[in-house]
Chain A
Amino acid sequence: MNDSDAVAQAGFRPVSAEPKAPGRSWRLSGDFLFHKAAVFAAFLAAAALFATVIAITIDSLMSIHTFGIWGFLKSSQWNPVTQTFGAFPFIVGTLVSSAIALVLAVPVSFGVAVFIAEIAPSWIKKPIAGAIELLAGIPSIVYGMWGLLVFAPVFANMEPWISNTFGEIPGIGVLFQGPPMGIGMLTAGIILAVMILPYISSIMRDVFLIVPSSLRESAYAMGCTTWEVAWHITLPYTRSAVIGGIFLGLGRALGETMAVTFVIGNSNMISSSLLMPGATIPSVLANEFTEATTKLYVSSLIYLGLVLIAITLVVRFLAVLLIRRLGRGEGAST
């Protein structure tokens, strides 16, 4: 049998099957079931989210009544002895450590993705992509222990150099002051960057690879360099997907618990220096949940969780807004 026969037969078969009533009805009921199953799965996921939010809100009501919303958000007091709780240092810590992670991980991910999509010879693409995706499979506690036992001591030796070099620069110098401890906000940001790198880079790589080769090749034909192709052709074409990937990474960084707990230094004070210890919402939850002995204490910890959900929602909202705005910009320019 040759190929054209096979195609003809394959093309013919559904037509001949069409009038047969039993076959059709079977297919319909299968499709019907699949349709219902898909709807059920979607609603189940949404219902789980809503149920979680409602349960968390109910459990944090006591703390909401005691401290209010604005009072809880802006208070820097977190004192289990006097039972006064405020979230401000942890909100700052969560946002700052995630911001550091993004600043470090996005350029590296871009480099990785461009390398795989544009530069790498085909024999090396797979190993590198595989190695980076393996990073995503390492449990976060391993990152935490590695950060504490291996990275932090090495980083402590680098910190005097960092504070001598960057500490002198007016303006940002204040970010790099303090004793070299190897743990702190910056260490947490670096570990987070390694953790979110695979997510961002694999999304970037996947979307870079679907850029039509006619676009890229015509740019190369006009004499563009690799950088120009990546920056002016590939990136604008895939912009919204790339932003989506970055926010996926950010979402992971915001919620990361164990790795951060080990290396951030766990201090409830806000420090201007990135080399000083801090704390994030997940790290406080991981630290204090087990021994929270009073109802108000537990309620305040759950309230912190609610705040984290709200932060994630706001971040997601901003991502959607940003993608829409960029989309509109694209429409206007063409």
Chain B
Amino acid sequence: MKVLGAKNRKAAGRRSDISLRENSRSGFRGWLPGAGLVLALICTVGAYGQTTITGAGSTWVYPLVAKWSAAYQAKTGIQVNYQSIGSGGGIAQIKAGTVAFGASDMPLTPDALSAAGLIQFPTAVAGEDLVYNIPGIGAEKLVLSGPVVADIYLGNIKKWNDPAIARLNPGLNLPDMYITVVHRSDGSGTTFTFCDYLSKVSPEWKEKVGENTSVAWPTGVGGKGNEGVASYVERIRGSIGYVEYAYILENHLADARMINRDGRIVAPSLTGFQDASAHVDWTRAQDFYVILPYQPGPDTWPIAGCTWQILRKNAPRASNQAVMKFFDWGFEHGQQMATSIAFGPLPPSTVNAIKAYWKSELGYGM
């Protein structure tokens, strides 16, 4: 008992020695970062008070806004804090006035906008394409048309060697294999753009399914996000899915060529997406209520989409102007950044139309 006590005391003594030394050292080291933290806190509080723009909404446009905001902050010191919570959330937040701007992949109708006291303008053009997993058929070998894709997604075309597909691909050896349809399971602007395209090319699709950020799919399996769809397509033999072009580029997926509205076979490309927006007369569409898929033009990519930024008319003037300045800067200086992540910048005529729209709707410019 005694021996044990002595040992304990000794151990305790050693422990307290160590802790003492540690304390003094950490005490010495401690105040420096502490002071730094306080300084940083003061700085951020100061910065937060004046120069933060908050936005929320679409996940599709998130990479672009994130890229622009980093560069914009480096240039001007103004921080853009964008939360990619989804288009539905973005619309709800801007209506509630908790953010300076909301972003949606699906434009609001002019009626809905005026009812809620909102305005909207497009940001950039992006595209999507079908990817497939057919043994022996590589990237951009397969050619598809809108009606054929609609029939595949309706479950009318069940096998890859269906005459309708074979007619589009005379040189290809299409296997006698069942098609597994893969779609997005989560609500998404990608789905809206895709279904809007199918509704335009197939009356049966328009009647039975229609277009929305999520729909009642007649057939197939659902993957969560672009990565979910891509990994299903990668793993399921005989499958087909639709993903954003940026995602195809990054992951080198086997994508299809499409027949566009002019009847020409095109591969997805940024210029093809921009052609889609170039053929739209943005200046004449009320509140930029234009949906981009299936536009005419010889090189136009048929499945192009857009994201809209939404502002509140009765928001403080300074807040709206800060948002307008940010996007104007992006339209002018952010083109390189946009193309580097497969977003097509808006043509100058559209940007001018947006500026005129701001002035006429809000009564003031930047």
Q: Which residues of A contact B (CB under 8 A)?
A: 1, 77-82, 148-149, 152-153, 156, 179, 181-184, 261-262, 265-268, 277, 279, 283, 286-293, 297-298
B365: interface (CB < 8 Å): no
Say yes or no: A156 contacts B212, CB within 8 Å.
no
B236: interface (CB < 8 Å): yes
Say yes or no: A290 contacts B180, CB within 8 Å.
no
Say yes or no: B221 contacts A267, CB within 8 Å.
yes
Q: Which residues of B contact A (CB under 8 A)?
A: 1, 59, 85-89, 91, 104, 106, 178, 180, 185-189, 209-217, 220-224, 228, 231-232, 235-236, 238
Nearest to B87 among chain A residues (CB) is A291
Say yes or no: A290 contacts B86, CB within 8 Å.
yes
Point out the residues of chain B lying under 8 angstroms from A298, CB to CB. 88
Point out the residues of chain A lying under 8 angstroms from B216, CB to CB. 77-82, 268
Say yes or no: B228 contacts A181, CB within 8 Å.
no
Say yes or no: A153 contacts B214, CB within 8 Å.
no
Of the candidates A81, A288, A289, A297, the one whose C-beta lies within 8 Å of that of B211 is A81
| Given A80-B214, A81-B209, A156-B235, A292 and B178 contact (CB-CB distance below 8 Å) | no
Point out the residues of chain B lying under 8 angstroms from A182, CB to CB. 235-236
Q: How far is the CB of A74 from chain B (nearest CB, A)?
A: 17
| Given A80-B214, A268-B217, A290 and B236 contact (CB-CB distance below 8 Å) | no
A132 to B232, CA, bound (A): 30
Q: How far is the CB of A38 from chain B (nearest CB, A)?
A: 35
Q: How far is the CB of A308 from chain B (nearest CB, A)?
A: 18
Nearest to B216 among chain A residues (CB) is A79
Q: How far is the CB of A269 from chain B (nearest CB, A)?
A: 8
| Given A261-B185, A265-B222, A288-B186, A293 and B228 contact (CB-CB distance below 8 Å) | no
Nearest to B89 among chain A residues (CB) is A290
Point out the residues of chain B lying under 8 angstroms from A265, CB to CB. 221-222
Point out the residues of chain A lying under 8 angstroms from B238, CB to CB. 179
A327 to B214, CA, bound (A): 49
Interface centre among A79, A287, A290 (most CB of B within 10 A): A290
Of the candidates B212, B220, B228, the one whose C-beta lies within 8 Å of that of A80 is B212
Say yes or no: B180 contacts A181, CB within 8 Å.
yes
Point out the residues of chain A lying under 8 angstroms from B86, CB to CB. 289-291
Say yes or no: A290 contacts B221, CB within 8 Å.
no
Point out the residues of chain B lying under 8 angstroms from A268, CB to CB. 216-217
Residues of B contacting A: mostly: loop
Point out the residues of chain A lying under 8 angstroms from B180, CB to CB. 179, 181
Closest 7 CB pairs of A and B: A291-B187, A290-B86, A266-B222, A266-B185, A81-B210, A79-B216, A291-B213
Could you jot down 12 A-B contacts, CB within 8 Å? A79-B216, A181-B232, A265-B222, A266-B221, A266-B222, A277-B221, A289-B88, A290-B187, A291-B186, A293-B91, A293-B212, A298-B88
Say yes or no: B228 contacts A148, CB within 8 Å.
yes
Q: How far is the CB of A179 from chain B (nearest CB, A)?
A: 6
Say yes or no: A82 contacts B210, CB within 8 Å.
yes
Point out the residues of chain B lying under 8 angstroms from A148, CB to CB. 228, 231
A183 to B88, CA, bound (A): 29
Nearest to B105 among chain A residues (CB) is A291
Of the candidates A1, A156, A262, the one whose C-beta lies within 8 Å of that of B236 is A156
Point out the residues of chain B lying under 8 angstroms from A181, CB to CB. 180, 221, 232, 235-236
Point out the residues of chain B lying under 8 angstroms from A266, CB to CB. 185, 221-224
5 further interface pairs, Cβ-Cβ under 8 Å (given A181-B236, A266-B224, A290-B88): A82-B216, A153-B235, A261-B224, A267-B217, A291-B213
A149 to B106, CA, bound (A): 31
Say yes or no: A288 contacts B224, CB within 8 Å.
no
Say yes or no: B215 contacts A287, CB within 8 Å.
no
Point out the residues of chain B lying under 8 angstroms from A291, CB to CB. 86-88, 186-189, 213-214
Q: How far is the CB of B62 from chain A (nearest CB, A)?
A: 12
Say yes or no: A293 contacts B215, CB within 8 Å.
no
Interface centre among A77, A183, A279 (most CB of B within 10 A): A183
Point out the residues of chain A lying under 8 angstroms from B185, CB to CB. 261, 266, 279, 283, 287
A298 to B187, CA, bound (A): 12
Say yes or no: B186 contacts A290, CB within 8 Å.
yes
Point out the residues of chain A lying under 8 angstroms from B87, CB to CB. 290-291, 293
